Amino acid sequence: METDDIDLIRAYLAGAEEAFGELFRRYRLPLFGYLRGMLSEADAEDVFQKTWVRVCRKLDSYRDDGKFQAWIFRIGRNLALDLLRRRKRLQEVPQLEEQDGAAGQEYDPWLPEQEGELLLQLDRALEQLSPEQRAVFQMRRRQLSFRVIAGVQNCPVNTAVQRMRYAMKRLCGILRKETKDR
């Protein structure tokens, strides 16, 4: 039988280091995937580490509301948004590489050699969304419930659902325009 998060937290705070290791194993992949959806791989790794350091430092102040996953995701989200805000202030906008296209060749996104191109288009389109919409999209992509997403984003469930709706509408528009421009 799997130990509850709160029992692991209590055990860790009582001195059982392996309890923190279990929490880490339980949430490392979902957390990193979430951060990777918002940031480059290098930045995601950096924020991932900072998130776990902060979790370690603040674990004694965690209030058991049954939403530990939402709590650590919120810490990661806040650190990621801080990084993005700092970058924006410094006007460090990542440069997208120019995409080579074969002139006169018909585009079919379902051909294996063009599948990577479709993913690049989606990544470029995601960059045009607000951080909240991009985060909701990435979390739903990882099959997190809207309840968990709302906990991470510290908003009502209906707001998380609306952000997803707006994200999908905007993504469809962006991708439709890009396909039409081909």
- The CATH number that applies at residue 161 is 1.10.10.10
Q: Contact 74/144 with Cβ under 8 angstroms?
A: no
Q: Which domain holds residue 174?
A: 111-182
Looking at residue 23, what is its pLDDT? 92
Q: Are residues 115 and 182 in the same domain?
A: yes
In tens, the pLDDT along 127-154 reads 888 888 888 888 888 888 888 888 888 8
pTM: 0.58
DSSP, res 91: T
Rg of the Cα trace of the chain?
19
In tens, the pLDDT along 48-63 reads 999 999 998 888 888 8
Looking at residue 79, what is its pLDDT? 92
Q: How far apart are CA 104 and CA 109, in angstroms?
A: 15
The token pair at 154 is: 């510290």
In tens, the pLDDT along 74-124 reads 999 999 988 888 877 664 344 434 344 444 444 444 444 545 666 677 778
Q: In 14-111, which residue ranges form alpha helices assigned H by DSSP?
A: 17-38, 41-58, 68-89
Looking at residue 102, what is its pLDDT? 43
Q: Contact 84/131 with Cβ under 8 angstroms?
A: yes
Q: Are residues 83 and 115 in the same domain?
A: no
In a domain, 100, yes or no: no
Tell me the CATH number at 34: 1.10.1740.10
Q: How far apart are CA 46 and CA 37, in angstroms?
A: 14
Q: How many domains does the chain have?
A: 2
Q: Are residues 69 and 124 in the same domain?
A: no
111: helix, strand or coil: coil
Q: Are residues 3 and 58 in the same domain?
A: yes
Residue keyed to tokens 């080579």: 100
